[in-house]
Amino acid sequence: MSTKVYSFSSTNEVAQGLDKLLAHLSSEAIARSGRFTVAFSGGSLPATVAKYVKHNSTIDFSKWFVFWADERCVDHSDSESNYRLVKEELLDHVPIPAKQVFAIDPTLLSNSAAAAAEYQSQMVAVFDSVPVFDCILLGIGPDGHTCSLFPGHPQIEENDKWVVHIDDSPKPPPSRITLTLPVLNHARTVAFVATGAGKRGILREIIDDRNLALPASHVAPTNGSALWFVDHAAAQDLKIN
């Protein structure tokens, strides 16, 4: 596993860096396997990721397979939906075939356990065994959560399932589904995106101190890379500075 921190002077430059990364990973993956598998988180990430990517004519979006690293159990049209965020920021602007977009089943929103199991079965149809994503895009919460893996919650202990549910998320809404650490740690590339001074303390705890009470500290792809795309405000307390 290798970890690298890329620190930029603004969110805009972070977005440009992510554009270069995704263009590179996408063409590499398509040359290797004929497709690019990617998972998105919610929060501020989709807008930052999509800003330049959606205008990048070198990317072959017809080969993209899009999943969500975590999703809230709300309707696809709800303002809290991570599907909706990624759709509005990216999917509405680029030619990814609808059959290659894997969203939470909207008929299972009142049963998060069933929604998680169904989401895993969508992944089984695409990946032969434990998914090896070409890229998983992750945000970081101020408490050190990533995906919907929260400190002190049992989802972080999961060793077998690829997708699990949570009904008491400290960050609203309470019901969610999330990829598990085995999936995150099988990825070829995990790219964390964190901007703003509000993230400076937690970044130091994860990257420099590797505080294992924080779920994000457990993300270390066995045969892949963990990359951090951060701005100087978020990176200001890191030793690399």
- Rounded CA gap, 40 and 71, in Å? 9
Residue nearer to ligand 6PG on the CB measure, 59 or 216: 216
Strands of the 225-231 sheet, one edge to the other: 2-8, 225-231, 189-194, 135-138, 36-40, 64-68
Q: Is 43 left (phi over 0), alpha (psi -120 to 50) or beta?
A: left
Q: Rule CB under 6 A: say whether 177 interacts with ligand 6PG.
A: no
What single-letter DSSP state applies at residue 101? B
Closest by CA position to 136, among listed 60, 62, 189: 189
Which of positions 116-175 make contact with ligand 6PG (CB under 6 A)? 139-141, 145-147, 171
Q: Is 56 left (phi over 0), alpha (psi -120 to 50) or beta?
A: beta
Question: Taking the complex as a whole, how short is the minimal distance between the CB of residue 201 and ligand 6PG, in angstroms?
Answer: 14
Question: Taking the complex as a whole, how short is the minimal distance between the CB of residue 125 and ligand 6PG, in angstroms?
Answer: 23
Question: Taking the complex as a whole, how short is the minimal distance between the CB of residue 197 and ligand 6PG, in angstroms?
Answer: 12
- Rounded CA gap, 5 and 21, in Å? 13
Among 17, 42, 46, 131, binds ligand 6PG (CB under 6 A): 42
Q: Rule CB under 6 A: say whether 43 interacts with ligand 6PG.
A: yes
Q: Rule CB under 6 A: say whether 41 interacts with ligand 6PG.
A: yes
- Rounded CA gap, 172 and 184, in Å? 22
Q: Which stretch binds ligand 6PG (CB under 6 A): 1-9, 17-25, 43-51, 205-213?
A: 43-51
Q: For the CA atoms of 5, 224, 71, 116, what is the dihedral angle to 10 degrees?
A: -160
Which of positions 189-218 make contact with ligand 6PG (CB under 6 A)? none
Half-sphere exposure of 186 (CA within 13 A, CB side): 17
Q: Rule CB under 6 A: say whether 236 interacts with ligand 6PG.
A: no
Q: Rule CB under 6 A: say whether 19 interacts with ligand 6PG.
A: no
* Number of residues lying near ligand 6PG (CB under 6 A): 15
Q: Rule CB under 6 A: say whether 231 interacts with ligand 6PG.
A: no
Which string of DSSP letters, residue by residue, matches 86-97? Answer: HIIIIITTS---
Q: Rule CB under 6 A: say whether 11 interacts with ligand 6PG.
A: no
Site string for ligand 6PG, 58-97 (x = CB under 6 A): ------------x-x---------x---------------
Contacting residues toward ligand 6PG, per CB under 6 A: 41-45, 70, 72, 82, 139-141, 145-147, 171
